[in-house]
Structure 1
Amino acid sequence: MSSNKDKLPKQSDETPFNDIMKNLDSFFNESVKNFNSLFNQSTFDVDVYETKSNVIIEAKLPGYKRDQIKLEIIGNQIKIYVENTKLEEFRNDQRKYRSNGRSFQSMERSIPLSFTISEKDTRASYKNGILKITTPKMHADRRFIDIED
């Protein structure tokens, strides 16, 4: 005995409704990707090492220009800020839409050291995508405090 299911025509995956849903999925997936790129905040690699008299901080920042990098000394920390703004055009010729957007990316790292950093004696250079900060080790005068009974 055959069932009614056997007599129903086979449905195609390409119905108008499925086509609309595929287009909506594609639109939303692309919109989310573009939204995430507008507010992308990530980090960058930093290496810290010491020589006999200095602490050296190297930040890997390939593709950035010197004027996109800012350094700030706050007590015993060096903060590295990187900002990048791009105007972008998003275009899809198949779906015949185009939009313009602005992409903003900012990254920040704080590197704490075990001493107060001398702004006067700290040097920074930027070459081949590597930011190099050199600061002398500061040895504060050590003083001991008597402990009372």
Structure 2
Amino acid sequence: MPENRPPKKDEHPLFEPFAQLMNNMNRLFSERPDKNFLQNMDEFFLHSKPFGGGFVTELKENEKEYIVQAQLPGTKKDQINIEILPQYITITVSHRETLTKEDKTNTVFQQRESWKQSSRTIPFSKPIDQSKVLANYEDGVLTVTIPKKKGKKVNID
């Protein structure tokens, strides 16, 4: 008969990001500084992403538009939310997962639910035309095309 005990600190999924962060901090301060100290700090923050680290985005710009590409492998369309405001875009990815374990009599004896959310906000240097924004998601790559607003040409008398 399985005993009903609380999970150990290192078994609980909520502790994993913090344990990883603590391990990285311990490694940072225990290593002999054979490199520049600031380089060690850069490596620490490069490899320490306690809440999943988000996703990679790239911004391209031409005369007429901005093109934002986000690498979102394994993400479903309904997990992606795009918010457009006058001079920036926010892309948010939400992932909810429920894991249920049942015994032979289909009685639930363990259920675990997790929820993760990552977002990126990208500012634009020029006003955008919010009404003509297009988004496409294909093969794990989200592409958002954002037209720039055209300024009004003023004739000089």
What's the TM-score once normalised by structure 2's chain length?
0.61
| Percent identical residues | 27
CA distance in 2, matches of 1:41, 1:75: 29
| Residue 8 of structure 2 corresponds to residue 27 of structure 1 | yes
- Counterpart AA for 1:30: E
Unpaired runs of at least 5, structure 1: 1-23, 92-97, 144-149
Residues 142/114 of structure 1: CA separation in 2 closer, same or farther (3 Å cut): farther
Aligned residues: 111
- Counterpart AA for 1:48: L
Look up the SS of the partner of 1:35 in the other structure: coil
Conserved 8 A contact 1:72-1:80: yes
- In the TM superposition, what whole-angstrom CA distance separates every residue of 1:10-60 from its partner, at most 9, and x where no partner exists? xxxxxxxxxxxxxx9x832112xx114699453110000123322110001
Look up the SS of the partner of 2:130 in the other structure: coil
- Matching residue of 1:67: 78
| Residue 91 of structure 2 corresponds to residue 80 of structure 1 | yes
CA distance in 1, matches of 2:135, 2:93: 15
| Residue 135 of structure 2 corresponds to residue 124 of structure 1 | yes
Q: Which of the numbers 54, 62, 66 marks the counterpart of 1:51?
A: 62
CA distance in 2, matches of 1:56, 1:84: 25
Unpaired runs of at least 5, structure 2: 18-49, 103-108
CA distance in 1, matches of 2:151, 2:52: 37
Look up the SS of the partner of 1:28 in the other structure: coil
What's the TM-score once normalised by structure 1's chain length?
0.64
Whose RCO is larger (CA < 8 A, sep 6+)? Answer: 1
Give runs of ≥4 in structure 1 deviating > 6 Å. none
Mark the structure with the bigger radius of gyration.
Answer: 1
